[in-house]
Amino acid sequence: MCGIVGYIGDRKAYPILIKGLHRLEYRGYDSAGVALLNGNLNVYKCKGKVADLEAFVKDKNLDGNIGIAHTRWATHGEPSDINAHPHYSQSGDIVLIHNGIIENYASIKEELKKRKHKFKSETDTEVLCHLIENIKDNEGVSLAEAVRIALNQVVGAYAIAVLSKDSPDELIVAKKGSPLVIGVGSEKEFFIASDATPIVEYTKNVIYLEDEEIAELKRDGNIKIKTIKNKVKTPYIEELEMQLETLEKGGFPHFMLKEIYEQPRSIMDSLRGRLNPVKGVVKLGGIADYEQAIIKAKRIIIIGCGTSWHAGLVGEYLFEDLARIPVEVEYASEFRYRNPVIHEDDIVIAISQSGETADTLAAIELAKSKGATIIGICNVVGSSIPRATHAGSYTHAGPEIGVASTKAFTAQITVLTLMALQIAYEKGTLSRSKFHELASELYAIPEKVQAVLERNKEIEAIAKVFKKAHNFLYLGRGYTFPVALEGALKLKEISYIHAEGYPAAEMKHGPIALIDEEMPVVVIATQGASYEKVVSNIQEVKARKGKIIAVVTEGDTVVKSLADYVIEVPEVDEHLAPLVAVIPLQLLSYHIAVMRGCNVDQPRNLAKSVTVE
């Protein structure tokens, strides 16, 4: 969490920085700030969003061709003007922005206090800035060297950018555990950011800094990279594939709605080049070298957080059902701390939209250290998780800006389905005819998703009825149980309504006690093996006067006669049901949140990329 951006070159830095902060605001939005070097080192920062910072700096001196800026998601110290970044050093001659956590900041702070350092904020970041200045002054070294020495003393995660009044022609950046991309412009200029979105409109040439690397970016276009152990590295420039249009709202009122509507395209992009329905071929090139290892695996462990964990549950059903491989799905945050049993022949599938989730990364490192093979399913190209895994497949959903994950979820399920189909077919646990049938059904999913999107008005009307509800229950069974969890998560994170997802049959083991005429119950009752059982569950809710909103397969008459509201989705094979059944739930949450006046793209307390544990 937190977004950092910086510029050094001949252009005015401020417009680049502020635009960059808007692009990164999804990473945190409780305070923001900017530092500009123009003889003086001016820092402007305030509590609130990037727009508040823009209003705050209106009458300020915004000159300077070198600057850094930050949008914060608070970890140490509440959101406030003082805790906002950039932070000054003791003398005020050095400023620093930071994404991550310095775990041993308290002991460093105590040491510095003994040397008469005075701190204004409660942050770990300010301590690091003071430490750098203390080293620079006491050891008489350059800014870059002081940064290097300081980073050898800190424990934790960081992506930092540092400016000094005494070094007006350089910008120092470093990273460990938090992402940092350097854009190399054609005009002797450098852009830095937490991800490539603030950079792409200026240059497509980027360097992804590795952990424990420091880069010295000079105004004359020179760049030096070394590790914190002082090993010189050769910069490796890669070309970005990102398109600028994908970062704009494109006429939609919110990114979330745009991303929901993009799903026919994003699912197709995840299939393209990997699935040939006519020949009945599925090939995920990224896992080719590990295909045999997966086929022979005695166990697959799927790890992820939040929505990615929900996609993992769908993956469990798919792999067990089609490829007959036992699967365990784990919250990465639990897995990493509970001393799990991991064998060398285990396959670990790590799922992450951002590719930066700290718990998922740590769980990967743990499994790797025990010899397991790690396969990644990620959306953000070049992010940390794909670089930490042995192999993997990108989801190709395109940038997801809304904090609530939508198109990334369906893209993750698409890739998991492809993987399960490929492995099942090669392993011989799936007949040629069933394989063919599923492959062509999968290829038809984008148009079926499109058909669900066309029901948006009906869903909006249902949202109007329930917008004031205090609680919601979501029920599903089999392949749609993870969809119930995902529907509940979507609603709570953007509308702040309490919602729970349950396997429908579990209801009578507790949650049924909650049901009365005030309780809306969303039931996913599409055709499948458990359809009749779900109908019985609906009867149980009905008998207790609960209000039923049912997602049903087109042409259903049984549930229609029982439910208060129905949303029809096209018929699909049960294995693919999550891909269509989740769409109405995304739209329902979206409309309820908008009607309640919530900020759907940037819900309170959340950040898109959770880079702290």
Q: What does the binding site for ligand AGP look like in residue numbers (CB under 6 A)?
A: 305-308, 352-354, 357, 360, 403-405, 493, 606, 609-610
Are 298 and 345 contacting, i.e. CB atoms less than 8 angstroms apart? yes
Positions marked active-site: 2, 608
Nearest to ligand AGP of 203, 307 (CB atom): 307
Distances 22 to 17, 35, 47, 50 between C-alpha atoms, Å: 9, 16, 15, 6
> What letter represents residue 280's amino acid?
G
As a whole number of angstroms, the distance between CA 518 and CA 500 comes to 15
CA-based R_g, the chain, Å = 25
Nearest to ligand AGP of 159, 162 (CB atom): 159
User: What is the smallest separation between the CB atom of 478 and ligand AGP, expressed in angstroms?
Assistant: 22
As a whole number of angstroms, the distance between CA 487 and CA 490 comes to 5
User: What is the smallest separation between the CB atom of 400 and ligand AGP, expressed in angstroms?
Assistant: 9
User: What is the smallest separation between the CB atom of 354 and ligand AGP, expressed in angstroms?
Assistant: 3
The residue sitting closest to ligand AGP, measured at its beta carbon, is 306
User: What is the smallest separation between the CB atom of 276 and ligand AGP, expressed in angstroms?
Assistant: 29
Cβ atoms within 10 Å, residue 453:
17
- Closest by Cα among 535, 568, 537 to 551: 568
- Two tokens at 418? 């492809």
Nearest to ligand AGP of 451, 606 (CB atom): 606
User: What is the smallest separation between the CB atom of 359 and ligand AGP, expressed in angstroms?
Assistant: 8
As a whole number of angstroms, the distance between CA 542 and CA 561 comes to 11
As a whole number of angstroms, the distance between CA 604 and CA 613 comes to 18
User: What is the smallest separation between the CB atom of 335 and ligand AGP, expressed in angstroms?
Assistant: 13
Q: Which residues contact 263 (CB under 8 A, 6 or more apart)?
A: 406, 407, 410, 446, 449, 453, 583
User: What is the smallest separation between the CB atom of 180 and ligand AGP, expressed in angstroms?
Assistant: 17
Segment (H or E) for 476: strand 471-476
- Closest by Cα among 561, 251, 578 to 569: 578
Q: What is the DSSP letter of 177?
A: B
User: What is the smallest separation between the CB atom of 588 and ligand AGP, expressed in angstroms?
Assistant: 15
Q: Which residues contact 252 (CB under 8 A, 6 or more apart)?
A: 258, 261
Cβ atoms within 10 Å, residue 68:
29
Distances 266 to 84, 196, 375 between C-alpha atoms, Å: 36, 20, 21
User: What is the smallest separation between the CB atom of 324 and ligand AGP, expressed in angstroms?
Assistant: 27
As a whole number of angstroms, the distance between CA 328 and CA 530 comes to 22
Q: What is the DSSP letter of 267?
A: H
Nearest to ligand AGP of 164, 412 (CB atom): 412
Nearest to ligand AGP of 65, 395 (CB atom): 395
Are 520 and 473 contacting, i.e. CB atoms less than 8 angstroms apart? yes
Pairing of strands 347-352, 170-176: unpaired
User: What is the smallest separation between the CB atom of 30 and ligand AGP, expressed in angstroms?
Assistant: 16
User: What is the smallest separation between the CB atom of 70 and ligand AGP, expressed in angstroms?
Assistant: 20
Distances 460 to 74, 122, 455, 596 between C-alpha atoms, Å: 34, 44, 9, 13
- Closest by Cα among 249, 222, 224 to 235: 224
How many helices (H) and strands (E) are present in the chain, helices listed first? Answer: 20, 27
With b meaning 16 or more CB within 10 Å and e meaning fewer, what string describes 541-565?
Answer: bbeeebbbbbbbbeebeebeebbeb
Nearest to ligand AGP of 145, 493 (CB atom): 493
Nearest to ligand AGP of 17, 497 (CB atom): 497
Nearest to ligand AGP of 300, 600 (CB atom): 600
Nearest to ligand AGP of 119, 331 (CB atom): 331
Extract the runs of DSSP E, i.e. beta strands, from 333-372. 347-352
Nearest to ligand AGP of 1, 271 (CB atom): 1
State whether residue 420 is helix, strand or coil: helix
Distances 464 to 52, 394, 488 between C-alpha atoms, Å: 31, 37, 17
Nearest to ligand AGP of 306, 315 (CB atom): 306
C-alpha dihedral, 164 to 168 to 172 to 178, nearest 10°: 70
Are 66 and 143 contacting, i.e. CB atoms less than 8 angstroms apart? no
